[in-house]
Amino acid sequence: MTGKTAILIFANSSSEELKTKKIQRSAPLFDHLNQKVLKIARSTGLPYFLFSEEEQVGSNFGERFTHAIASVFQKGYQNVISIGNDTPGLSKNHILRTATLLNSNGMVLGPSFDGGFYLMGMRKELFCKKQFLKLPWQTAQLTKCIRRLLGKKFENIVWLERLRDIDNESDLKHIVNTFQFVGDVLRTIILQITKSAQTFFSEMILVQQLVFIRHFFNKGSPFQI
């Protein structure tokens, strides 16, 4: 092993993401995001480990994520920086800054707008499986509960900038409209998804209107003279 810090990429395949994300026709999106996060990890020069659904162990998210972190620590690393695949704003600089901050801080968190986080850096001596399993994973209370549940040893948490992750089509629209660093490929994919969704709902509204009109103008039998 070289170095003391490793990256954990905790990200499912696009086919698995389709089962959990409320986004229609999003396979190309998560294929692209998975490739993007791998490219970012490689660019840091730090060792990295990918845990997709094939490598994850556990019956729920908390168990699977906790097991993945423990697995990387067991390889001999002193610091683990975990990232996912659903935050387009994540960059190489976020990871490298976290690696530097972990030299003098116990934990670094990059909060997301939904109450979770897009990045978590942590030193080995602060990791406790039992405490991690108690956290309300995948809820809006996660980052608030980390400090409360894990106690005083996490007083030296360093917070990075807040970024938006992708959970639904509303997030896609917000990202493509406000995030200036979205690449051309990702922007095109997002616009295709949001346009398809908009077309679908427009067609549904039109069908409902036609059904209403047909029902309204066909009440009763025609008047006979």
Q: pLDDT of 31-89, one tens digit each?
A: 999 999 999 999 999 999 999 999 999 999 999 999 999 999 999 999 999 999 999 99
Question: Does the pTM exceed 0.85?
Answer: no
Strand-pairing partners, residue 49, are: 8
Q: What is the structure's pLDDT at 2? A: 46
Distance CA 72, CA 49 (A): 8
191-217 per-position pLDDT tens digit = 888 875 444 344 344 334 444 455 555
Nearest Cα to 185, choosing from 15, 42, 34, 32? 32
pLDDT of residue 53: 95
Are 111 and 117 in contact by the 8 Å Cβ rule? The answer is: yes
What span, in angstroms and rounded, lies between the C-alpha atoms of 79 and 177? 36
* Cα torsion angle, 177, 190, 18, 57, sign: negative
pLDDT in tens, 111-164: 999 889 999 999 999 898 998 998 999 888 898 888 776 656 656 789 999 998
pLDDT: which is higher, 20 or 37: 37
**What is the rounded CA–CA span in Å between residue 188 and residue 29?**
10
Domain layout of the chain by residue ranges: 5-164
Q: Give the pLDDT confidence score for residue 60 in this predicted structure.
A: 94
CATH architecture assignment, domain 5-164 = Alpha-Beta Complex (3.90)
d(CA 45, CA 83): 15
- What does R_g of the chain's alpha carbons equal in angstroms? 22
